[in-house]
């Protein structure tokens, strides 16, 4: 949809169609079919708590005002509960769009949550997002898998999978 003549009169920003195309390229359910009915926002978990408005995010993305979204703090408020994607009558998934915007923000170095940094380190090290550890019961006693009658399980990613993963992460 060519909207290059648009100007946001609040900020004088112009749409960035190239960035928009990149952000939505992978999405199964991109923003272009949005009718602005607002069903996503009316059911949104983070709207009630943090005033996240998914229909506004979808609207801005559809019009190509994507840089503003990438650098906004609000994309990090999404609870990823999928109610928006469930409710949308147009098969748009604000959930997917928000994730893609987060991907862009991280690859630009604008933001990376501390917890996510830790998970990435653990993933590279162990092939799992959280390190395997003993189970601790309510009295504080720790049990290994064997003590609980559970089989030892091999975990981790193969060398080739780790390489492929790093390539995908590096290419973003």
Partner 1 sequence: MPGLAVFWGCRVLSGDVALELSVRKVLETLGVDITDLEPQSCCGEPIRSLNLTASCYLALRILALSASKGYNEVLMPCSKGYFMANWSLDMLSRSGELSEAISKAFSSEGLSLDRLSRPIDLVELVYRAVGPEGLRNKVEKPLGLRVALHPGCYFMRSKPGTGEGLRKLAELRELLSAVGVEAPYYPGMMDCCGGSLWLTRQDAALTLAGSKLKAASESGLDCLVVLCPSCFEMLDARQEDALSAVGEKKGVPVLYLPQLLGLALGIDPAELGLRFNRSPVEELSVVR
Q: Which residues bind partner 1 (CB under 8 A)?
A: 25-29, 45-46, 49-50, 76-83, 85-86, 88, 91, 93, 95-96, 99-100, 102-103, 106-107, 112-113, 115-116, 119-120, 123, 127-139, 143, 145, 148, 150-151, 153-158, 160-161, 163-165, 167-169, 172
Core vs surface per residue 113-131: b (16+ CB within 10 A) or e: eeeeeeeeeebeeeeeeee
Residue 94: both structure tokens together: 């604000």
Among candidate residues 67, 57, 52, 69, the one with its CA nearest the CA of residue 30: 57
Among candidate residues 54, 56, 68, the one with its CA nearest the CA of residue 20: 68
Q: Report the nearest approach of partner 1 to the CB of residue 18 (Å).
A: 16
Q: Report the nearest approach of partner 1 to the CB of residue 134 (Å).
A: 6
Q: Report the nearest approach of partner 1 to the CB of residue 19 (Å).
A: 16
Nearer to partner 1, 11 or 158 (CB): 158
């Amino acid at each position: 949809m060519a909207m290059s003549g648009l100007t946001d009169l609040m900020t004088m920003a112009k749409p960035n169609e190239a960035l928009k195309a990149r952000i939505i390229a992978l999405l199964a359910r991109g923003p272009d079919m949005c009718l602005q009915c607002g069903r996503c926002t009316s059911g949104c978990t983070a709207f009630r708590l943090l005033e996240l408005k998914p229909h506004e995010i979808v609207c801005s993305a559809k019009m190509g005002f994507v840089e503003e979204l990438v650098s906004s703090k609000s994309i990090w408020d999404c609870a990823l509960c999928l109610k928006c994607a469930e409710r949308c009558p147009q098969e748009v998934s604000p959930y997917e769009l928000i994730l893609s915007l987060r991907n862009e923000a991280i690859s630009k170095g604008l933001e990376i949550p501390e917890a996510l940094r830790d998970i990435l380190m653990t993933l590279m090290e162990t092939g799992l997002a959280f390190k395997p550890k003993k189970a601790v019961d309510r009295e504080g006693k720790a049990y290994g898998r064997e003590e609980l009658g559970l089989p030892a399980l091999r975990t981790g990613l193969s060398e080739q999978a780790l390489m492929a993963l790093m390539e995908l992460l590096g290419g973003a």
